[in-house]
Amino acid sequence: MQYFEVIKEVSRILTYSEQNALAKIDDLMNTYCNQCPIKTRLRKLEGKTKAHHFCINECSIGKEIKQLGNELQ
């Protein structure tokens, strides 16, 4: 199954607000996180776990993503 087919299938299962939250998370990740120099540096110096904890607990974008993720539960 192709990526876009999976997304279509998932979108049939999720509510509109859940789809909206996923779209916001995806946008934030693509805009800020994927090329984040802080995350890259922390991963290199301290490992994936420490970088992940920084992103979730310290970074304003990570906190917003975490909040949106909580809406999906």
| pLDDT tens for each residue of the chain, 73 residues long | 566 666 666 667 888 899 899 999 999 999 999 999 999 999 999 999 999 999 999 999 999 999 999 988 8
pTM for the structure as a whole: 0.76
CB-based contacts of 30-36 (< 8 A; 24+ apart in sequence): 32/61, 33/61, 33/62, 33/65
With tokens 């090329």, the residue in question is 35
56 — phi, psi (to 5°)? -75, -40
Q: Within the chain, how many helices (H) and strands (E) appear?
A: 5, 0
